[in-house]
Amino acid sequence: MRKHNFGAGPGVLPEEAIRKTQEALYDFNGIGMGAMEISHRSKEFAAVMDRTRSLTRELLKVPDTHEILLLQGGASGQFAMIPMNFLNGKAAYVEAGAWSVKAIKEAKTAGEVVVVASSADKNFNYQPKGYDIPADCDYLHITSNETIHGTQLKAWPDSPIPLVCDMSSDIFSRPVDTGAFDLIYAGAQKNLGPSGVTVVIIKKEFAQGIKKKLPKYFNYNTHIEGESLYNTPPTLPILVCMFTLEWLKGIGGVEAIEKINSEKASLFYGQVDANPFFTGTANKEDRSPMNAPFLLADPKRDAEFLQTARGKGIEGIKGHRSVGGFRASMYNALPVESVKALVTFMEEFSKVHA
């Protein structure tokens, strides 16, 4: 029996994608070899790469002005690679949580960083808004969804400079005007697939403006010219991404999953708001439908709550140490039934300990 997986990442995958992967591991498309055993230069894997990029373009409506790359290194790799390529004078960053803090720290190794807004004053429980964007910076970096602190941007800044966004924990969860961004990046292990692959959506004109002399691997143009095959890519994770995107397309795409995600978030936050036994940690207007941190009114019950939840088949809800308490991550592949199971358990637990 599969558990109700609320883990923050690597997160839950669609069962359909898992089953297809199981079959492909032994015999991929009837070729007598498993998916992990074939060359990344083979026609079979070329078809996987093409299909994965094509689905990404279709589902996110990526314009022809942008390239789609499938790289390695996760978001952490992009924290370093972006300033290496684009920080010539100074760059603007919004500090909205733990991941933007790490991005800022990496960028400072490459040049001057201007933090244009921060929510650190309230332990990142809200998304900064209404800040000024300096026109003399090379780019503005934002984080669409802060996984640890459970906040999400509901509107994008009107930026006079190139806009760069870390969408690791909410990409493919809602429609996005991808053409408005100069670079979008996301570690796959939330909504796209397993860990090991990073999707980068980059405006061609932005990449053409790279002026620095860099090690070849760390220049975006190397991967654009090499069609993400400059070095051996993470072949199996890319295949799982393809299966995941096929599943997403099959259920109606990003527009359909946004409605499902909204239903899950309403169920969960409805319980938190109606039940005084629980408290949400993020400002209501900035709450993330992907990651929902919450606390018990009586923290002495935390260990019991976690242990009892596991007995109900509910896994992955322990909160990050910087916030404490608990966190329910409700990524695309998490069924509505899992959220209902968690909400029912929360209600039952609170009644027993009222």
Q: What is the CATH number of the domain that holds 192?
A: 3.40.640.10
pLDDT, tens digit (0-9, with 9 covering 90-100), for 288-301: 999 999 999 999 99
Q: What is the pLDDT of residue 6?
A: 98
Residue 10 in domain? no
Structural element, H or E, at residue 239: helix 235-250
Catalytic residues: 99, 166, 190
Is residue 236 domain-shared with residue 334, that is, in the same domain? no
Report the percentage of the chain scoring pLDDT > 90.
98
Residue 5 in domain? no
Return the closest-CA partner of residue 6 out of 265, 344, 328, 338. 328
Q: In the beta sheet, which residues pair with residue 184?
A: 165, 201
Q: What is the pLDDT of residue 322?
A: 84
Please count the CA atoms within 13 angstroms of the CA of 144 that sit on its side-chain side: 27
Is residue 269 domain-shared with residue 127, that is, in the same domain? no
Domain boundary among 250, 280, 298: 250
For tokens 């691997």, the residue is 217
Is residue 209 domain-shared with residue 273, that is, in the same domain? no
Confidence of residue 98 (pLDDT cuts 50, 70, 90): very high
Q: What is the pLDDT of residue 181?
A: 98
Residue 212 in domain? yes
For tokens 């990409």, the residue is 171
Return the closest-CA partner of residue 139 out of 90, 177, 204, 199. 90
Residue 3 in domain? no
Is residue 53 domain-shared with residue 150, that is, in the same domain? yes
Phi/psi at 26 (5° precision): -95, -45
Across the range 55-73, mean pLDDT stands at 98
Across the range 33-49, mean pLDDT stands at 95
Which residue range is the domain that position 231 belongs to?
15-250
**Mean pLDDT lowest among 18-27, 53-62, 246-255, 318-327:** 318-327
Return the closest-CA partner of residue 96 out of 47, 145, 63, 26. 145
Domain with residue 267: its CATH number is 3.90.1150.10
pLDDT, tens digit (0-9, with 9 covering 90-100), for 74-90: 999 999 999 999 999 99
Is residue 84 domain-shared with residue 194, that is, in the same domain? yes
**Tokens describing residue 223:** 């991967």
Identify residue 150 by its one-letter amino acid code.
G
Domain boundary among 250, 270, 297: 250
Is residue 278 domain-shared with residue 300, that is, in the same domain? yes
Across the range 114-126, mean pLDDT stands at 97
Is residue 59 domain-shared with residue 97, that is, in the same domain? yes
Confidence of residue 7 (pLDDT cuts 50, 70, 90): very high
Is residue 94 domain-shared with residue 155, that is, in the same domain? yes
Return the closest-CA partner of residue 256 out of 175, 348, 195, 202. 175
Q: In the beta sheet, which residues pair with residue 198?
A: 71, 187
Reported pTM: 0.97
Asked whether the predicted pLDDT for residue 36 surpasses 90, the reply is yes
Is residue 219 domain-shared with residue 287, that is, in the same domain? no
Q: What is the pLDDT of residue 354?
A: 79
Q: What is the CA radius of gyration of the chain?
A: 21
Task: Report strand pairing: 90-95 vs 112-118.
Answer: parallel
Dist CA 78 CA 171 (whole Å)? 15
Asked whether the predicted pLDDT for residue 109 surpasses 90, the reply is yes
Mean pLDDT, the chain, whole residue set: 97
Residue 4 in domain? no
Confidence of residue 170 (pLDDT cuts 50, 70, 90): very high
Domain boundary among 250, 283, 302: 250
Return the closest-CA partner of residue 128 out of 139, 112, 141, 138. 141
Residue 8 in domain? no
pLDDT, tens digit (0-9, with 9 covering 90-100), for 183-237: 999 999 999 999 999 999 999 999 999 989 999 999 999 999 999 999 999 999 9
Across the range 249-258, mean pLDDT stands at 98
Is residue 62 domain-shared with residue 165, that is, in the same domain? yes
Asked whether the predicted pLDDT for residue 245 surpasses 90, the reply is yes
Dist CA 207 CA 195 (whole Å)? 25
Q: In the beta sheet, which residues pair with residue 81?
A: none
Dist CA 198 CA 234 (whole Å)? 10
Is residue 180 domain-shared with residue 217, that is, in the same domain? yes
Q: What is the pLDDT of residue 1?
A: 78
- β strands within the chain, DSSP E: 4-5, 66-71, 90-95, 112-118, 140-143, 145-146, 151-152, 163-166, 183-187, 198-203, 278-280, 291-296, 314-315, 326-329
Dist CA 147 CA 103 (whole Å)? 14
For tokens 């919450």, the residue is 294
Dist CA 163 CA 148 (whole Å)? 23
Q: How much of the chain is helix, strand and coil, in % rounded to 5?
A: 40, 15, 40
Q: What is the pLDDT of residue 4?
A: 98
Phi/psi at 167 (5° precision): -115, 30
Please count the CA atoms within 13 angstroms of the CA of 331 that sit on its side-chain side: 30
Residue 333 in domain? yes
Return the closest-CA partner of residue 330 out of 314, 311, 346. 314
Is residue 188 domain-shared with residue 329, that is, in the same domain? no
Q: What is the pLDDT of residue 81?
A: 98
Structural domains of the chain, count: 2
Is residue 42 exposed (0-12), middle (13-18) or buried (19+ Cβ within 10 Å)?
Answer: middle
